[in-house]
Amino acid sequence: MKVYIVRHGQTKANATNCHGSEEEDLTELGINQAENLKSKIKDYQFDIIISSPLIRAKHTANIINVNNNKIIYDNRLKERNPGNLSGKSRENENREEYWNYYSIIQHGTSENIKSFFERIFNFLDELKTKEYKSVLIVAHSGVSKAFNAYFNGIGDGKFLNKGLKNCEIKEYEL
């Protein structure tokens, strides 16, 4: 099965280097990024689109759904929950540690990275049992980092720079 993962378009939190919130939608640039991606993938054939239920991902999924595929929303594809870091600048934190699988540092009330990756791995393990030939996943940077870990291994545990950029697409074979 081919699995394509797309990160949502830009949000205000992305533009201002802050932790996002669940209720954040795309900026005008984010909408344009999704429109550009739509034209790039117009000839791709997907059996289904599975999206994070967060507004920014849902909006992106609806824009890029050129063939009017069925869209399923799965809570396991939500971004890593930043907890009490939501809306706060990322400037004053150690981003390397935040995205280090082996770190023992707790970052505020944010979701533990191992639990987060386990949630995504569970989703992918279940996806393996489906009969799809080609699936489009619309999610988040952190989710794309977990995909990287699932398909390429945990390795040194450093995932800061292993996520997708806004409206970037990556293909995996499941």
The residues annotated as belonging to the active site are 8, 79
CA distance 105 to 125: 28
Q: Which residues pair with 36 in a beta bridge?
A: none
Q: What does the block give as tokens for 37?
A: 């991606």
At 3, give phi and psi (nearest 5°).
-120, 120
Of 92, 74, 59, give the one whose Cα is nearest residue 143: 74
Of 62, 65, 154, 151, give the one whose Cα is nearest residue 102: 154
CA 97 to chain CA centroid, nearest Å: 19
Residue 120 per-residue DSSP state = H
